[in-house]
Structure 1
Amino acid sequence: MRTYQGDFVIDLPRSSVWAFITDPERVGPCIPDLLKLDVESETRFHAVVRVGVGPVRGKFKLSTELTVTEPEVSAELSIRGGGMGSGVDMKAKLTLSDTENGGTKLDWRCDAAISGPVASLGGRLIDNEAKKITEKMFNNLSKALSSVSEQVAATSEETAEPGLKE
């Protein structure tokens, strides 16, 4: 089992970040190398992703389930699946907290276990690739949330009273 973790701050209120991270239609596209996304419900979706570890390349089918542990504070994503005769089992925990300037800090931790031929490629190679994919996922999530923040700021500017614009 490998553990990866990190955090980032976004200039959006916690309720907006929560609405984003609990929406499979918005979170799904943040998955690196996503080939296909099928949203089953508000808490479940399936994805097909392209995976490459060293000389081994192929597709993984993943099933993801969101569990809210405390509304607008924490949630867990359970990700299971496999491909190329290998399996993956991950549990990601997301925790939100307010920042002093009205933004939100998102702390994340991901525990991952990989089995099968892909796992036999060597611990260091697997560890580096899994870390890179996990960090890219949360980096993509941060960028998507930043985009939402910019849209909110632009909308607020457009709806300001006409006399206040120059």
Structure 2
Amino acid sequence: MHMSDEREIAAPVAEVWAALLSADTLMACVPGAKEVTGNAEDGFEATVVQKVGPVKATFKGNVVLSNLVDGQSLTLTGEGKGGAAGFAKGGADVTLAATEVGTLLSYEVDAKVGGKLAQLGSRLIDGFAKKMADQFFTNFQESLEGPAETPETEEAPQEGEKKGLLKRLTGG
């Protein structure tokens, strides 16, 4: 499966680059990560727990960084084994470019799965992979910018002022 996207991050390129190379940042951003150790030079080892459809597994794997062009681009290549659940492997090409707001992070991901995971069907796997990538980059962006602002929600009725569904719908 192949997917690509980009994110505008309100932080300077040097800060985004440093975060991409940090085990602590990866630990905070990878959905389901239980442990991330290592460094950019030697690679990272990770333990991740995920549930894909009916299959829940603990994946142990590694991630190697290559093609590093300081502050501009890198390639992440990883592989994880989840026992009877199967395996996942893939890579991502990540590029950074300075913008007026901060940094434009672009990525292209290629991934493959096998074992029980592969039997779930490509639509389920593709949807899960997109969700994982989106969640990682949302977490990554929030780790640099802080949480996104949530829109104001409608005020809840004050105590003793409960309205029934019909009254709320009709505005009565």
With normalisation by structure 1, the TM-score equals: 0.80
Mapped contact 2:13–2:103 kept (Cα < 8 A): yes
- Cα separation, partners in 2 of 1:23 and 1:4, compared to 1, 3 Å: same
Which 4+ runs in 1 deviate beyond 3 A? 40-43
* Structure 2 residue 125 is the aligned partner of structure 1 residue 122: no
Matched, 1:14 2:13: yes
Aligned to 1:157: none
1:29 matched residue in structure 2? 28
Q: CA deviation at 1:98?
A: 0.9
Matching of residue 146 in structure 1 with residue 145 in structure 2: yes
**Which consecutive residues of structure 2, in runs of 5 or more, have no partner in the other structure?**
147-172
Q: 2-side partners of 1:16 and 1:100: how far apart?
A: 15
2:93 alignment partner in structure 1:
93
CA RMSD of aligned residues (A): 1.8
Is 1:108 aligned to residue 98 of structure 2? Answer: no
Cα shift readout 1:77-136 (whole Å, capped 9, x = no counterpart) = 1111110331111101110001134x1111111110001111111111111111111211
Q: Does the 8 Å CA contact 1:94/1:107 hold for their aligned counterparts?
A: yes
The letter for the 1-side match of 2:23 is P
- The size of the alignment, in residue pairs, is 146
In structure 2, relative to structure 1, the CA distance for the partners of 1:68 and 1:20 (3 Å cut) is farther
Equivalent position amino acid for 1:29 in 2: A
Aligned residue in 2 for 1:49: 48
% identity of equivalent residues: 32
- The Cα shift of 1:41 comes to 5.8
1:23 partner letter: S
1:70 maps onto 2:69 in alignment? yes
For structure 1, the 5+ residue unaligned runs are 148-166
Based on CA coordinates, which of the two structures has the bigger radius of gyration?
2
